[in-house]
Amino acid sequence: MAARLKPHMADSKHPCREDSVCAVPVQRCHPGEAELAEDLIAQEVPVALVYNGISHVVMMASPLDLEDFAVGFSLSEGIVAQVGEIYDISLDYDPANLEQGVAVNLTIAAQRQMELKRRRRNLTGRTGCGLCGTESLQEAVRPVSPVAPQPLVDGAAVERAVATLVANQPLQAMTGAFHGAAWCDPHGNILQLREDVGRHNALDKLLGHLRRSDVDLSQGFVLVSSRASYEMVYKSSRCGAATLVAVSAPTALALKQAREAGLNLIGFARPGRHVVYHRAIEE
């Protein structure tokens, strides 16, 4: 029998953080003058998720934390129900030609592979859009997963997390092109953060890491540096997160799904203010 996947399993072939940015010559223009300089910009590469030898999806993503991404995507898209159904992960890529892409090879349980074949769809995502390539309208809006309702997080905790979000995003500071997804404790301390050029990808990376680490997702909240779209609510609830906080607005469908899931939803989380859109447990 194949060995079970271990949390934070090491891989000898892994794109490093430095591969997620590259230096390019630019001309900085100011009123009445221009100067030559060097700028750091985000790398974006095709990432193929391959299940038991069969390619399922290609996403454009940042080439780091790809094992976390693979686990988070597999869980949030319902390809597997638990981390234990993923037996192995390996990465295949050419370090000298990273722009050609990375194949993430997953070995999953045979039953899950059979189910995946039955509902197989060929997705070609752009910056993490989870619906690109969906074959029918019925598939586009999927039933949300219920979570165990939790009391609304304290406002001071939300403010604390938002105030430190930027300081915890080194790639965003370098390039201005990265979204962040953070896991915060009930007091608003950021414990883990993942970055990616795609907001869905950043969230999948975070959720993958948390599930691999057996973190109790009812005891804290997810903070994302983007709007709260339907996909963000869907992925969070699918992985068991009880609270989602976004720095921008939710969509109407996201709010509807949050209500159905019993998930606390907070938007426009900015220093000094935030908006509660759904409270799972009324006081």
Catalytically active residues, by annotation: 129
Q: CA 123 → CA 49, 58, 126, 258, 268, distances in Å? A: 10, 6, 10, 25, 31
3-state secondary structure (DSSP) of residue 94 = coil
Cα distances (angstroms) measured from residue 152 to each of 71, 122, 268, 278:
28, 38, 16, 9
CA distance 160 to 158: 5
Rounded to an integer, what distance in angstroms lies between the CA atom of residue 219 and that of residue 162? 18
Number of H helices, E strands in the chain: 8, 13
Where b means 16+ CB within 10 Å and e means fewer, 45-60 reads bbbbbbbbeeebbbbb
- In terms of Cβ atoms closer than 10 Å to its own Cβ (0-12, 13-18, 19+), residue 253 is middle
Fill in the amino acid letter for 274.
H
| CA–centroid distance for 45 within its chain | 16
